[in-house]
Structures are given as C-alpha cells and as structure tokens.
Structure 1
C-alpha cells in the first residue's frame, strides 16, 4: 500500500518520511526566514527608551514600526545574525553583522512619502553612539560638564553602516523643501505656526499665591515633576501639556503660567560667527530637497558641510577662500537626497535636529504605527494598548 507520506524516487525506491527532528529543523529555518523578511520589509518592533516623546509616547511603550509606509530599505549590510541590530546578545561590542557585502541605498516603493507631523523611526545621523539615547537629560548634563566635543569623543566607538546605527524616534516637523524657524519655542514652517501635538510637553513657569500645588492632583493630571522645580516661594517649573496648562489655570492658587526658557545649549550648525540661534529661537533654515540647488559660501557652509561630505559622499575642501567639491571649484551644490527635520514632543528634554541637524532619507527606518504593549509603574498600561500613533 502506497501511503501519502511515502514517495518514490526516480529509481522506484521508497523514500522514508522525515524524522521528527528534521521536520522541526525545517520548520524552524522557515520561521526564521519568514520572520526576517517580515522584520526587514514589512514591520519591526521597537521600544521607547527615553522620555523625549512624552506624553505622546511613554518610556516602555512597545511599538510596531511600519516599513511599508515609506517603502522598505534594502539592507546596506545583508549579512547579519537574524533578530539582532548591530551587537550580538550578551556582548558589549561584538558585531552582529559582516561588512563583506555592502549594498548602496535603495528603497522599495511605499504607500506614502514622509509628511509633516509623522512620527518617524530613523537611524541616528550624526556619528555613532555606544548607547541609545538613554535619558536625553543625561546628555545635557554631560555637555554642560565636559563640553559637546568631549561627549561625542566619549560616545564614538566605531563608524557603523547606516542601517546598523542606533534607532531614534521623533516627530517630523519639516519635510524636504520647507523653511523652518522657531520663535520662543513655537515652531513655524513656511511662515505658518506648526500644529502643536496635543500630548506634547514643554516647560512652564508656574506662579502661585505662595502655596505649593497639591501633588496628588498633579499626579492625577499626569504632570511631570522636575527636580528642584521650586525656583523661589511661589515659583515652580513643570513639564506641561497644553491640556495641563488649561487645567492648572482653573486652580485658585495659580496666578500665572508662562513658558520657561532656561540657558540654552549650543545648537546646529555650531557656527556662532554667523548664527546666533538657540533651542528656543532658531532659523529660518531651509530643509534640503532632492534636486534643489543652493549657493554655498563661508556664511552657510557649516549648514551643508555634513550633507556634502558624509551623507552624499563628496570630497569638500577649502582653498584660498574658495570651496572645491571632488577637486572642482564650486559655489553651489545640488542635493542628491531629501532631508527632514525631526524634533521630540517633549521639547525641553529631547536630543533632536536642533543639535545634530538634518535626517537624510536613507536613514529613515519607518513610520511609528501602533502601540501593542505598554508597561510602567509596575503594571501594564491597559489604556494604551493597540492605540495608533498620531
């Protein structure tokens, strides 16, 4: 009798059914390949590590990032250990990929382009860091104590390929071709005030009649406490959402609420001779668009230097007051890629484009899509599960 699990080869000999071990091995290999393809080309899981997007996204929100929205990138480094990013598990510095094969940037067609107000995951564009963003505030403390260059020197370990750099998540506030400016902490794009995300936070100076605010009531509102928030009797600094501000204005002890501006850190493009910008007052700045041409000279080369040299792979030199690109005199430059301006919703606690500049299109991983799990305060945040990200 010829049973279904028996087959005959060309010589007419019966072939035995695969062993259970062989079947499990085949199934495991298929599962790894399928999961790798899904992770590479369709969606990937991501965890929020820092408060830079609060209250839109919270630390330990677990997300799905859609790679098909903008079109999946073909990996730069296709030879890699499955389900890893850049480092082998349980090691500090062992690479989980090989650079024996390196493919140039190419992106498959997507459903849409990157738009203003999208929440985007991308590879960190300036240099390379050992750790994730950690606490953005810890970066600020290091900058203040050591200086920016010393921090970057401490963080830089090796130059990883673009697709193996740390993943960041921010909101796209300006897309390629836009002109951006920030005035007293308010973002303007093409001369119009940009939408303020309803759950975004910024620091406010809260003036009371002299009494402290009820901590239990603040906790109910989800108001973030800032260490040493009391500046003096009746003056406090809090991280507040627009909703928080509206609610606090109804408190009888509140006399006034206004934005709080602290001493700013040095910001992009770090050319204080030509740009006296701060994190709260910035621009106007043109966001480069593919095919657009700009004039370059000593007054703006700091803005475009990294784009020309690093992101688009040219040799840029300055000789006798003139600029040379790939050995040829140049007083203008035409961009090969689109660029974007990314900022955290927690504006006073975010390491973002104000400090390291533009995000090139080849660094974009995908669009933040869905919160599938959230954990904090010792329990699951049930109300956040399966929320789409806006």
Structure 2
C-alpha cells in the first residue's frame, strides 16, 4: 500500500476520533474521568499527521536514492527533497492536477511513478518533452535534429553494491543550454535490445543496434539516467505520462555514508 494512502488513512482515523470526542464523547464522560488511551493518542497524533500529510502532498516529499542510475549527479544513499508544487498542485492519492504552474523542462531531475509499477517511484532526468524527437546514437543525444554537445571531463570510477568495480568516462552534456554530468561506459553497448518492453505507444519509437529514436507523445516525457549505461529508463519502458509525475528533485539533505554531500543542490 502506498505510503501516502497509509498516511491519509491514519489522518482520517485520528481526525474522526478527535471530532467524536470533541462533539460527543467528552460531554458523556463523567467529571474527573480520564480520556480513554485511544482518544488521547488520536488527539496527540492527529495534528502531527495532518501537517506531515499536507507538507508531503503539496510542498516537499523526501526520497532516498536506491540505485546508481543517476551517478554522478546522485549517489546511492542520498536523501533528497522533491518539490511537489513546481509542476502544479495535485490531489493527494489520485495525483490529479488541479492547478497548473510549470511544465517539466529538458534537464530537470524528476521523480515519477514507474509506469510498469506505479507503486514504485523512479528518478531520472527529463530528456524529451511532448513533441520532441529524441535520438540516441553513438551514445550521443540528438533533440529535434540538434546534437547535444558532450565535453570529456576525465574518468569516473565507482563500486557497485555487490563490490564490483566500474570504470566509466565522465562527460559534461549540454542539454539545450543546461549543463550536467553524465557517465558513459565504453565497454557497454548502446542498448540491450532484448530488454526493451512492449510499452504503450511503442510505435512512437524505432530501435536498432546503433540507434534509438522516439517521438514523445502529447502529455508525456522521455527520461534517461545520467549513468547512461547503467540505467533502465525510457529507452526500455517508454514514456512517463503527466499524471505519474511526483515532482522536481532539488536538494540533498542527508547521506550517512558521504556527509560532504549534505546541502548540495541538484542540477
């Protein structure tokens, strides 16, 4: 069960108990008799749960980075904050937008519900917005026929969770004027064709051993991880619909294994 739904049910339960006590039970309780424990607990927890629910639903939501698909921008173990309102206000639980504010832009680091399993949240970078033609060829991005510049920025080595050493090449990618780091592994193929799913609007994409080409449908987005050869993203499972967007990642507030990362902004 999604955490937001659990929080909502707890808020509803404690709120109902608080209202019942305020307007019915308190008047029937003999003078000098203490409140039942369940009433006392509900009255104590209801305002806390209410504030957490409102903050998490409309302002900021915490998220922990579970994998290395966004290295070097985000590391495994980073605890980040996600801005829930920058792309518009949405109804809790159903995630239906009711106030439009901004649209996701190329280069944004975005959290969303994974299209193949909406109970799971993913984080990737927005590469294509509605109407874009995204081409990934020779491990370089082309957006609407324009090559996105890559500048070599040395090597980058890291160790995966199973203690496997990984050597990659680091680049600075200019995605429509916005610079961000990416990793490319020269020993990995452009794509593992056998892992491409039969996702909705698959006909918008074409695949070969040397190129992936997709036209992004209306109201959907094309996402890629910064660790390009260690990321299962839109190349494999398709597009992210607007109603699956959670928000924009913007701040690292904790990493117990790398304290120096605390306070870093996410670009």
* TM-score of the pair, normalised by structure 1: 0.49
Pair 1:387-2:264 in alignment:
yes
Change (3 A) 1:72 1:196: farther
Work out the CA distance in 2 between the residues paired with 1:258 and 1:344.
Answer: 13
2:189 — aligned with what? 262
Work out the CA distance in 2 between the residues paired with 1:356 and 1:370.
Answer: 27
2:65 — aligned with what? 48
Work out the CA distance in 1 between the residues paired with 2:226 and 2:151.
Answer: 7
1:158-237 correspondence runs (5 A): 162=118, 165-194=119-148, 223-224=157-158
Work out the CA distance in 1 between the residues paired with 2:50 and 2:152.
Answer: 40
2:112 — aligned with what? 122
Work out the CA distance in 1 between the residues paired with 2:66 and 2:58.
Answer: 23
Change (3 A) 1:116 1:34: same
Work out the CA distance in 2 between the residues paired with 1:186 and 1:263.
Answer: 10
2:211 — aligned with what? 281
Q: Is the 8 A contact 2:156 2:168 kept in 1?
A: no
Work out the CA distance in 1 between the residues paired with 2:150 and 2:140.
Answer: 8
2:14 — aligned with what? none
Work out the CA distance in 1 between the residues paired with 2:100 and 2:151.
Answer: 25
Greater fraction strand? 2
1:10-21 correspondence runs (5 A): none
Please give the per-residue CA displacement for 1:122-149, whole angstroms capped at 9, x wherever unaligned. 00102x3xxxxxxxxxxxxxxxxxxxxx
Please give the per-residue CA displacement for 1:152-187, whole angstroms capped at 9, x wherever unaligned. xxxxxxxxxx4xx20000000011111110110111
1:107 — aligned with what? 97
Q: After the TM superposition, which segments of 4 or more aligned residues of structure 1 sit over 6 Å from their partners? A: 21-24, 226-229
Change (3 A) 1:288 1:375: same
Aligned length: 218
Change (3 A) 1:62 1:228: closer
Deviation at 1:192, TM superposition (A): 1.5
1:131-142 correspondence runs (5 A): none
Work out the CA distance in 1 between the residues paired with 2:126 and 2:253.
Answer: 22
Change (3 A) 1:261 1:113: same
Deviation at 1:349, TM superposition (A): 0.5
Change (3 A) 1:228 1:122: closer
Change (3 A) 1:196 1:72: farther
- For the residue of structure 2 that corresponds to 1:240, the secondary structure is strand
Question: What is the CA RMSD across the aligned residues, in angstroms?
Answer: 3.6
2:220 — aligned with what? 339
2:8 — aligned with what? none
Deviation at 1:193, TM superposition (A): 2.4
Work out the CA distance in 2 between the residues paired with 1:195 and 1:268.
Answer: 29
Q: Which runs of 5+ in 2 are unaligned?
A: 1-30, 173-183
Work out the CA distance in 2 between the residues paired with 1:25 and 1:197.
Answer: 57
Q: Is the 8 A contact 1:224 1:240 kept in 2?
A: no
- For the residue of structure 2 that corresponds to 1:34, the secondary structure is helix
Alignment equivalent of 1:371, drawn from 240, 252, 255: 252
Change (3 A) 1:196 1:75: farther
Work out the CA distance in 1 between the residues paired with 2:98 and 2:148.
Answer: 30
Please give the per-residue CA displacement for 1:170-219, whole angstroms capped at 9, x wherever unaligned. 000011111110110111111112365999x9xxxxxxxxxxxxxxxxxx
1:36 — aligned with what? 53
